[in-house]
Amino acid sequence: MSQVWNFGAGPAMLPPPVMERIREEWLDFGGMGVSLVEISHRSREFQAVLDEAKDLFRELTGLPENYRILFIHGGARMQFAALPMNLAGRSPSRTCLYVESGNFAKIANRDAVPYADVRVIASSADCSYARLPEVDPEKIDPQAAYLHLTSNNTVFGTQWQQFPDSGDVPLVTDQTSEILGRRLDFSRFGLVYAGLQKNLGPAGMALVVVRDDLLGSADEKTPLLLNYTRAAEDDSLTNTTNTFAIYVVKLVLEWMRQQGGLDVIEARNRQKAARLYRVIDAGDFYRGCAAVEHRSIMNVTFTLPTPELEAAFLAEAGAAGLYALKGHRALGGVRASIYNPMPLDGVEALAQFMEEFARRNG
């Protein structure tokens, strides 16, 4: 079978060694004679998997001890509602602040409206989210429950390089499309959440990292399985959890440690992105969708001169083993998602294809 490079935005590629390990252990996990997906979520064998996943995340990130690591059902989209249910009560007026920098940031603030007094204090909708908005410190209400932003906008290919200073208001970030793609100081955040399906594992579950002092404020009507305090008390085992997803997360984190940790992975991610941006900037054939100063190292977005050329590009790329490059329906164009598992060889294959396509059609 010829090599296929998966540039899908999510669910995305997993590291090949992780896929091999899953296959090796599928029918016989840890010498038990049964698969991991067949054992109890309350067994000591699965508890060891869960504990190791949390320990590895803490080790890789340097996460302070006053943060809890939770696995919550439903992916990042579920957290759009769970977040205000859990935190809005910290504010006397249930005020929650949002920065609208892209498609999912907009959905996040929209989904919070039934549960909080949502205030959008900055937006880049006026430039179709090609750049990140400036956050005016004067608009940050010190009585707000939190300030929410999406740290990497996967649809438009923008990424926050510096986060706004929110003062005493907890900064909450949706890091779904960049979690562990670069080293970040987690003590800057009150809460971080991320769907697993881009940099951590399979779809259908979210990782939530929450500071201890933000627990205990959930609304009484918060569904049990979305209550962060209860999840922390129950070690993410309030009910039968997605054992397979957590197992894969553990394997991915092991792979990251074997790669050399976050500093090595970040350097490689920056190298991958720089290679593609050099091709985009080399002439007028390709046009980047994101402002240069806000470009993402996870999602590289660009367009071609005509819709016909874009269609031809995508068709020929697919035939060449460059999979899932079509841009999101909200933007169109081409999107190369180059998350942690994407190797330099895959990016080089795409870069060379882009250069050759431009030579033939420019």
> Closest by alpha carbon to 186, among 208, 205, 201?
208
Question: What tokens appear for 29 in the block?
Answer: 């996990």
Ranges of H-type helices in 260-298: 262-281
CB atoms closer than 10 angstroms to residue 41: 16
Cα distances (angstroms) measured from residue 137 to each of 101, 142, 172? 17, 10, 16
| 345 appears as a binding residue in the annotation | no
8 A C-beta contact, residue 194 and residue 175: yes
| 77 appears as a binding residue in the annotation | yes
| 42 appears as a binding residue in the annotation | yes
β partners of residue 91 = none
| 197 appears as a binding residue in the annotation | yes
CB atoms closer than 10 angstroms to residue 94: 17
| 281 appears as a binding residue in the annotation | no
Crossing angle between the packed helical segments 262-281 and 344-361, to the nearest 10 degrees = 0
SS (H, E, C) 312-338: HHHHHHHHCCEECCECCCCCCCEEEEC
Task: Identify the helix (H) or strand (E) that includes residue 248.
Answer: helix 243-259
| 239 appears as a binding residue in the annotation | yes
| 153 appears as a binding residue in the annotation | no
β partners of residue 120 = 98
Question: What tokens appear for 278 in the block?
Answer: 């050099």
Question: What tokens appear for 172 in the block?
Answer: 């909450």
| 173 appears as a binding residue in the annotation | no
Residue holding tokens 């296929």?
Answer: 4
| 240 appears as a binding residue in the annotation | yes
Query: How far is Cα 108 from Cα 153, in angstroms, rounded to an integer?
Result: 12
Binding residues: 42, 76-77, 104, 154, 174, 197, 239-240
Binding residues for L-glutamate: 42
Known binding site for pyridoxal 5'-phosphate: residues? 76-77, 104, 154, 174, 197, 239-240
